[in-house]
Amino acid sequence: MRIATWNVNSMKARLHHVLEYCKAGHTDIILAQELKLTDENFPVDAFREIGWQVATHGQKTYNGVAILSPHEISDVICGLDGEPEDEQARYIEATISGLRVASIYLPNGNPRPGPKFDYKLRWMERLHKRAAQLIASEAPIILGGDYNVIPQPIDCYDEKAWEGDALYHPDSRAAFFRLLHLGYTDALRTIHPSGEQYSFWDYQAGAWPKNNGIRIDHLLLSPEAANRLQDAAVDRGPRGLEKASDHTPVWCRLS
């Protein structure tokens, strides 16, 4: 069973790339983020035609998350508890082949300090509560997505360039490690403990050709999932295509 997370930066603009990725047989599940469209406008039929099912939690213009798979998707939950007035579509959870998976689009948090950074930290606390509930279930769980957190210095091309940024701020990183300390495993870092494993390259300033990337897309595995971890990697292919997303898929394989 292979699971990939991919911030597609508009499902409408990236539909062809995503369909090709599905058809290529790289993965059994895609946890997608930044759809930038409503559920009504999600191209369900295009996926149905290639034998894939979808569960979506969309929003006009901004955010939006989905779970895509050729296998049956059940018990879908959208959103996190704790802030009923929050209308941003950033969390969806479902069961596929006995695996509980979530697609997460964590708030960016810039500019910091400010209300957007406060929202990011509150959102991470809400995610922490849900992650704790899930781990208590002792099911195999994968919390995948764009966490908008650079965990360690090794995960960015230039530590100085990110100093003070919401993605690299000590509060963001501490909240990320608090998630791990519940008992979750960072799949990619477990398989590749050293070296850069970037998942995002800015569109600007030639970041991609210069490999000025950061690692912000993560797959967090509960113990029952981590026990089955076989492999994990960044798939740089899609980032090199014409009209690419600024993120590329990160995947893991479970036995």
Partner DNA sequence: ATGCCCCCGTCCCGGGGA
Binding site for DNA (CB under 7 A): 7, 9-10, 12-13, 34, 36-37, 60-62, 107-108, 110, 116, 146, 148, 161, 165, 167, 200, 202-205, 214, 216, 243, 246-247
Residues 223, 230: Cα–Cα separation, whole Å: 13
Considering the complex, state which of residue 109 and residue 140 has its C-beta at the smaller distance from DNA: 109
First-residue to last-residue Cα distance in the chain: 6
Phi, psi of 78 (to 5 degrees): -115, 135
Q: Tell me how far, at minimum, the Cβ of 236 lies from DNA, in Å.
A: 16
Report yes or no: 124 and 176 within 8 Å, Cβ to Cβ. Answer: yes
Six-digit token string for 163:
């100093």
Going by DSSP bridges, is the β-strand pair 141-146/99-105 parallel, antiparallel, or unpaired?
A: parallel
Nearest distance from residue 148's CB to DNA, in Å?
Answer: 5
Q: 187 or 244: whose CB is closer to DNA?
A: 244
Min CB(166)–DNA separation in Å: 8
Report the residue number, 50 or 161, with the smaller CB distance to DNA. Answer: 161
Q: Identify which of residues 59 and 185 has a Cβ nearer to DNA in the complex.
A: 59
Residue 99 vs 121, nearer CB to DNA: 121
| N residues, the chain | 255
The helix/strand/coil state of 72 is: coil
94's tokens: 């479902």
Please name the helix (run of DSSP H) or strand (run of DSSP E) that holds residue 121, with its range, or none. helix 115-136
**Smallest gap from residue 98 Cβ to DNA (A):** 30
Q: Which of 8, 66, 3, 5 is nearest to 244 (CA)?
A: 8
Closest to DNA by CB, 112 or 253? 112
Number of CB atoms found within 10 A of residue 118's CB? 13
As measured in angstroms, the least distance from the Cβ of 216 to DNA is 6
**Separation in Å, CA 156 to CA 51, 164, 189, 216:** 37, 13, 14, 9
87 sits in which H/E element: none
For residue 18, the minimal CB distance to DNA (Å) is 13
Task: Output 116 or 173, the one with its CB closest to DNA.
Answer: 116
Q: What's the closest the beta carbon of residue 227 comes to DNA, in angstroms?
A: 31
